[in-house]
Amino acid sequence: MSLPTTLKPPPAWHEPLVWLVFGIPALTVVAGLITVWIAVQRADSNVAEDYYKRGLAINRSLEREARAQALGLVAEVSLTADRVLTVRLSGKVSPPESIMLTLTHPVHAEQDRRVVLQRGTDGLYRGSTAPIALVAWDLAIESQDWRMTARHLRLPDGVPFRIAAGSPRH
């Protein structure tokens, strides 16, 4: 007479159903931890801490843009290879000694640039800036009394472009 043989069941990790039952929740936890890590490492810089004050300043900015339009201001802006910004103003305005040119990066606020341009004897405003990436910048030219804006501008070296008050380029 022979003794009955007992078969040992295979280990649990050999069963596909075990991998489905435990694997999917485990992968979900790992994906959640990776998502949290990415969110902490890449904090959103698009929300300003003083957003309320900036909102109040919009009304003052709109009044200055209306003033630029009433004066019929037109600016011709160019950027030279040695990173000198040049602006020629025309319109019914007495030229101020200096104007502010602001370049706003479309994504990264830390790359925004503010350049003070001084009026030369030839009537042109000039100022230097750090190297500028070839992206579509938002641009603002302003003095105490008026402000002009343009959106999504590329700044090729040496190629002038015109901005007319009241008609921002999109």
Q: End-to-end CA distance of the chain, in Å?
A: 94
Flag whether pLDDT at 2 surpasses 70. Answer: no
The whole-chain average pLDDT of the chain stands at: 83
Lowest average pLDDT, out of 1-5, 69-73, 153-157, goes to 1-5
Mean per-residue pLDDT for 15-43? 90
H-type alpha helices, the chain = 16-41, 51-70
pLDDT at 157: 67
Flag whether pLDDT at 83 surpasses 50. Answer: yes
Q: How far apart (Å, rounded) are the C-alpha atoms in residues 103 and 77?
A: 12
pLDDT at 47: 67
More confident site: 27 or 15: 27
Strand 161-164: give its sheet, edge to edge. 147-153, 137-142, 98-104, 113-119, 125-128, 84-90, 74-79, 161-164
The predicted-structure confidence for 106-138, as pLDDT tens digits, reads as follows 888 888 889 999 999 998 999 988 777 667 788
Closest CA relative to residue 75, chosen from 166, 162, 170: 162
pLDDT at 100: 92
Q: How far is CA 168 from CA 69, 77, 147, 165, in A?
A: 11, 14, 11, 7
